[in-house]
């Protein structure tokens, strides 16, 4: 039987009827289709791995930031503690300097000498020359006497007057 080159379909001479065909598998057949399916799943798993790795790295960066901030805070606290100790030591040093200055003052030394040691001031001391030999040896400076018409008391009288003055 002879088939004309042109077939009439549904009464339209220009339309050529073609049988229904399934799309052809890509060149390479089933293997290529499986590779495409596998590549999609491997793409998804790769994306998931990359995203999870990025999340893990961000988590580690956050932890390191927190630890650095905690270290800085601890160091600031230690600096504040040392500053407070330094200030208290400086105040104690100033207090001790004042105490030393008070103990070095001449008035305090003089008070201790007169009260505790029984010393007297130089202006309060009165000297009495008992013999000319002490004056001659240079141990005591002679008292300047004004010349009067009165006679000088005898040394024995001077000693008696001295003893009476002590009573």
**Average pLDDT of 43-72?**
95
For the segment 8-29, what is each residue's pLDDT rounded down to a tens digit? Answer: 555 555 555 566 666 655 555 5
**Average pLDDT of 1-7?**
51
pLDDT at residue 61, as a whole number? 97
Distances (CA, A) of 131 to 45, 127, 152: 127, 12, 13
Phi-psi region of 123 (alpha: psi -120 to 50; beta: other; left: phi over 0): alpha
Distances (CA, A) of 60 to 23, 51, 157: 51, 14, 110
d(CA 161, CA 155): 10
* Residue pair 112/118 in contact by the 8 Å Cβ criterion: no
DSSP-derived 3-state class of residue 120: coil
pLDDT at residue 109, as a whole number? 86
pLDDT at residue 44, as a whole number? 85
Considering just the CA atoms, what is the radius of gyration of the chain in Å?
Answer: 62
Indicate the domain borders of the chain.
30-106, 126-143+153-167
Residue 146, CB-side half-sphere exposure with 13 Å CA sphere: 1
pLDDT at residue 31, as a whole number? 62
pLDDT band at 117 (very low <50, low <70, confident <90, very high): confident
Average pLDDT, the chain: 76
């Amino acid at each position: 039987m002879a088939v004309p080159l042109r077939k009439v379909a549904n009464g339209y001479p220009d339309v050529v009827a073609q049988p229904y065909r399934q799309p052809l598998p890509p060149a390479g057949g089933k293997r290529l289709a499986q590779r495409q399916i596998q590549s999609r799943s491997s793409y998804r798993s790769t994306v998931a791995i990359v995203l999870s790795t990025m999340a893990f790295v961000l988590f580690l960066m956050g932890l390191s930031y927190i630890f650095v901030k905690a270290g800085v805070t601890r160091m600031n606290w230690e600096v504040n503690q040392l500053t407070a100790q330094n200030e208290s030591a400086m105040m104690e040093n100033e207090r001790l300097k004042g105490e030393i200055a008070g103990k070095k003052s001449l008035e305090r030394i003089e008070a201790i000498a007169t009260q505790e040691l029984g010393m007297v001031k130089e202006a309060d001391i009165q000297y009495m020359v008992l013999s000319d030999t002490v004056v001659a040896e240079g141990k005591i400076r002679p008292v300047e006497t004004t010349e009067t018409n009165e006679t000088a008391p005898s040394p024995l009288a001077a000693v008696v007057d001295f003893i009476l003055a002590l009573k």
